[in-house]
């Protein structure tokens, strides 16, 4: 190859690099065989404690759920996972169609007009939605109402600072408010009144942004029904393992009049000369590679493969399977809440509030309780006092279709011992 190029050594190809910059070698160990590589990586994996899914009662934005084998069977197809962003549409119809189906599935769940091809996670989805509201209204304050996931708010603050967007927590919206952001169910698992929050936002000309749990939408009124303008959320529950927090997938859906302000990729239908339907990247004029500094967002990569997982999951479940999963989680969580609240010294933190499958409970010596459970292989509730000073001694417990009734018994026995 060097001969064809017309040089005598590899170094002749590196002549543009100043000699003073040239390295002898990298300060890294030498390479390993596949066997040794896997042994080293597995040794690290083995240093972690894995809690069985049925004995995991901790949520806080990431949940253990049943993942159909079909999901990994599809996402591990190399035709999907080793493809690039579908710039050449004719050679990327599989990816484009999967995204188009994902967009439709999310729009159907949210009851809104259009969803995009996905975002990084629930937190950045909230931040991107706030940007849309800022651009749409020309106002530079967003109001976070109630117990929105604290990490979503932290990310929102970091994004907002770059753009000069102020994040206000609590209080009433006013004429400076670009959007009211609320979470349904909220970070503690409690239901909020989305109709009232949406109406309050609209009254002052602000947008209503609902951060929603996608599985809850099988039973709860969707954002489109209560007239929210933008729905966002975290799609981890739709077929993705917890994986220490990522990769997961954010989603965003909106009303028709906001579509031009959506961040990231959008796929639409198009036809070829023979009249065959295909799929293409659409409305690219919003995006960074065309508009550069005037783009709606800097996002380039979305989370396609995770969106594919979510599409397979939702297609597998169908409307009634998804409802079954949501209802079973609801029933079991209510049984668990009742049994925990009957323990001496334990009481529901907000007994007057409704919840679905996660709830806050006030516990004597919360951290000792959690440590005790961990020793028995149970991942107990999440101590939310770490984020909210007023919630001293409050743990949130979650229960889904993977926590069978015997697992609940085991949890109660461990607490009693």
What residues pair up with 251 in beta bridges, in sequence order? 233
Contact 186, 350 (CB under 8 A): no
Q: Does residue 294 belong to the site contacting another protein (CB under 8 A)?
A: yes
Name which of 274 and 416 has its Cβ closer to another protein: 274
- What's the min distance (Å) between Cβ of 317 and another protein? 7
Q: Does residue 7 belong to the site contacting another protein (CB under 8 A)?
A: yes
Of positions 8, 30, 390, 416, contacts another protein by CB under 8 A: 30
- What's the min distance (Å) between Cβ of 380 and another protein? 10
Contact 10, 4 (CB under 8 A): no
The residues in 112-171 that bind another protein, with binding defined as CB under 8 A, are: 113-115, 117-118, 120-124, 131, 149, 151-152, 154-155, 157-159, 161-164
Of positions 147, 210, 304, 361, contacts another protein by CB under 8 A: 304
Q: Which two tokens stand for residue 149?
A: 């996931």
What residues pair up with 144 in beta bridges, in sequence order? 169, 181
Stretch that binds another protein, among 134-142, 169-177, 202-210, 308-316 (CB under 8 A): 308-316
Alpha carbon distance 158, 151 (integer Å):
11
The residues in 225-284 that bind another protein, with binding defined as CB under 8 A, are: 225, 234, 241-247, 249, 256-257, 259-260, 265-274, 276-280, 282-283
Classify burial at 227, counting beta carbons within 10 Å of its beta carbon; exposed 0-12, middle 13-18, buried 19 or more. Answer: middle
Specify the 3-state DSSP secondary structure of 398: strand
Name which of 97 and 174 has its Cβ closer to another protein: 97
Residues with Cβ within 8 Å of 164's Cβ and at least 6 positions away in sequence, in order, are 140
Parallel, antiparallel or unpaired: strands 277-281 and 347-348: unpaired
- What's the min distance (Å) between Cβ of 133 and another protein? 15
Name which of 151 and 227 has its Cβ closer to another protein: 151
Q: Does residue 31 belong to the site contacting another protein (CB under 8 A)?
A: yes
Alpha carbon distance 54, 406 (integer Å):
9
Count of Cβ atoms closer than 10 Å to residue 44 Cβ: 8
- What's the min distance (Å) between Cβ of 389 and another protein? 15
Name which of 146 and 246 has its Cβ closer to another protein: 246
Q: Does residue 348 belong to the site contacting another protein (CB under 8 A)?
A: no
Contact 215, 102 (CB under 8 A): no
The residues in 175-194 that bind another protein, with binding defined as CB under 8 A, are: 191
Alpha carbon distance 95, 267 (integer Å):
10
Of positions 2, 169, 364, 365, contacts another protein by CB under 8 A: 2
Q: Which two tokens stand for residue 225?
A: 């029904």
Of positions 326, 361, 378, 411, contacts another protein by CB under 8 A: 326
Stretch that binds another protein, among 44-52, 136-144, 172-180, 204-212 (CB under 8 A): 44-52
Q: Is the peptide bond before 247 cis (omega within 30 degrees of 0)?
A: yes
The residues in 72-101 that bind another protein, with binding defined as CB under 8 A, are: 73-74, 76-95, 97-101
Q: Does residue 4 belong to the site contacting another protein (CB under 8 A)?
A: yes
- What's the min distance (Å) between Cβ of 173 and another protein? 22
Contact 165, 143 (CB under 8 A): no
Of 105, 80, 70, nearest in space to 267 by CA = 105
What residues pair up with 358 in beta bridges, in sequence order? 398
Name which of 174 and 288 has its Cβ closer to another protein: 288
């Amino acid at each position: 190859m060097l001969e064809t190029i017309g040089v005598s050594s590899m170094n002749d190809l590196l002549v543009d690099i100043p000699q003073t910059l040239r390295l002898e070698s990298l300060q890294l160990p030498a390479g390993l065989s596949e066997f040794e590589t896997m042994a080293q990586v597995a040794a690290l994996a083995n240093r972690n404690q894995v809690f069985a899914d049925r004995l995991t009662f901790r949520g806080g934005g990431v949940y253990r759920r049943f993942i159909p084998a079909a999901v990994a069977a599809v996402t591990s197809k190399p035709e999907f996972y080793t493809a690039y962003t579908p710039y050449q549409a004719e050679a990327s119809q599989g990816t484009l169609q999967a995204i188009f189906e994902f967009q439709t599935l999310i729009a159907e769940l949210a009851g809104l007009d259009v969803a995009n091809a996905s975002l990084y996670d629930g937190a950045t989805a909230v931040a991107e939605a706030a940007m849309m509201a800022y651009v749409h209204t020309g106002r530079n304050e967003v109001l976070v109402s109630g117990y929105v996931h604290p990490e979503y708010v932290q990310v929102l603050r970091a994004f907002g600072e770059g753009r000069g967007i102020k994040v206000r927590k609590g209080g009433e919206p006013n004429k400076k408010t670009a959007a009211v952001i609320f979470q349904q169910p909220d970070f503690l698992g409690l239901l909020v009144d989305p109709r009232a929050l949406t109406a309050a936002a609209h009254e002052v000309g602000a947008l209503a942004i609902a951060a929603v749990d996608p599985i809850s939408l099988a039973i709860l009124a969707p954002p489109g029904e209560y007239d929210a303008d933008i729905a966002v959320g975290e799609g981890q529950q739709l077929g993705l393992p917890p994986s220490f927090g990522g990769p997961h997938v954010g989603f965003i859906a909106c009303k028709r009049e906001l579509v031009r302000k959506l961040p990231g990729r959008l796929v639409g239908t198009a036809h070829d000369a023979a009249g065959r339907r295909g799929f293409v990247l659409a409305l690219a004029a919003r995006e960074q590679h065309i508009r550069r500094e005037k783009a709606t967002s800097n996002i380039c990569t979305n989370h396609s493969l995770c969106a594919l997982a979510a599409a397979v999951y939702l297609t597998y479940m169908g409307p009634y399977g998804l409802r079954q999963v949501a209802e079973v989680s609801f029933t079991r969580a209510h049984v668990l809440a009742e049994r925990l609240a009957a323990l001496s010294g334990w009481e529901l933190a907000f007994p007057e509030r409704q919840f679905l499958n996660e709830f806050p409970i006030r516990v004597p010596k919360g951290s000792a309780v959690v440590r005790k459970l961990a020793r028995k292989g149970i991942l107990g509730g999440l101590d939310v006092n770490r984020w909210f000073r007023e919630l001293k001694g409050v743990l949130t417990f979650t229960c889904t279709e993977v926590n069978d009734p015997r697992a609940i018994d085991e949890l109660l026995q461990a607490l009693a011992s």
